[in-house]
Amino acid sequence: MMEMLRVSVRNNAVSLRKGAWLTRTLEESDPRVRVQVSPLAQEEHDTEAGENLLWTALRTDAADCALSDASTLTTWPPPPWVRAVAFLARMNPRFALLHRSSVKLSDLPAAPRLSTSSGLARVQFDNAKPGAEWVELSGDLPTRLHKLHLGHADGVIEPASDLLTLGIAEDAIEFLSTDMLLPAPGQGVWIVFSLSDRVDVERVFRHLDDRKAGICAKAERTFTAQLDAPANCLVGARAWVQTKRLTLDACIMPAEGGVVQRLSISGAPEQPEELVAGLVDMFRHQSVLRQCRGKADRG
């Protein structure tokens, strides 16, 4: 048993709070375990740079493991010398609506002043309920919510899992249906990574590994990787296992807004690779993906 487990996390409010939760969970389950959470150097909102810092911390032995929100990973799968040792149980994958006057979705005015950190949520929302005025609120999630209460916007749409992690899910007026807004691939699932040969780290996290969360997160992220959509195309995906059946629901849309195309596929959870390949093939024949590729080539 290692004397101290060093966990590397991104330097933002949600990741730090999830790291604190992981510390309590591990130390309560085994009094011999001591956890030290180390935030990365300031990333200045560069997601790819933050991810590289996670892998660097493992490679240079600055950390024993790295904790990351599956939806923030810019590449999948991770480098071959890195292994996912635990997929933590999935939190609510939906988007949440917060409104400073406690107005629900069905009661929003014709032109609400809304903000979101997710382009995926914005484009889908515009398709379902056109007319919103989108306001940019800078800063991390707590800062954006503070600006909401100051009246810089009427409402915000953010991942429910981030609110749950911060312990403020009760501030949400409504969790929006995935029939309206599909989440980012991997949203709500946190993954613990270590070097491939760190069997000791895997042993520590074995009891926290959630099989269904792993199946779903890997299916969503693998679908995104194999689809290989251009940067001007947004991708949403949600997988779930129910009664021995895996369903993968996904959508694609131009980042600047426009038509949202959505398809789904179901099959045996023991063969997720076949389902992913089948859905990718279906989307490759869709006009939105072809249009995005054409614009990317011309750009």
Say which amino acid occupies 263: L
Separation CA 153–CA 144 (nearest Å): 10
pLDDT value, residue 49: 77
pLDDT value, residue 62: 95
Of 299, 179, 288, 289, which Cα lies nearest the Cα of 226? Answer: 289
Separation CA 110–CA 98 (nearest Å): 17
Of 147, 153, 149, 161, which Cα lies nearest the Cα of 134? Answer: 153
Dihedral (Cα; 177, 179, 180, 184), 10-degree rounding? 80
Q: CA 127 from chain center: how many Å? A: 21
Q: One digit per residue, pLDDT tens: the chain, 299 residues?
A: 567 999 999 999 999 999 999 999 999 999 889 999 999 876 556 677 778 899 999 999 999 999 999 999 988 999 999 999 999 999 999 999 999 999 999 999 999 999 999 999 999 999 999 999 999 999 999 999 999 999 999 999 999 999 999 999 999 999 999 999 999 999 999 999 999 999 999 999 999 999 999 999 999 999 999 999 999 999 999 999 998 899 999 999 999 998 999 999 999 999 899 999 999 999 998 888 888 888 878 76
Where are the alpha helices (H) located in 60-210, listed in sequence order? 119-128, 141-149, 160-166, 199-205
117: Cβ contacts below 8 Å, ≥ 6 apart: 141, 144, 158
Domains assigned to the chain: 5-90+189-209 (3.40.190.10), 95-175 (3.40.190.10), 220-298 (3.30.160.40)
Separation CA 223–CA 237 (nearest Å): 8
- DSSP β-ladder status, 113-116 and 133-134: parallel
pLDDT value, residue 42: 65
What are 40's strand-pairing partners? none
- How many residues are there in the chain? 299
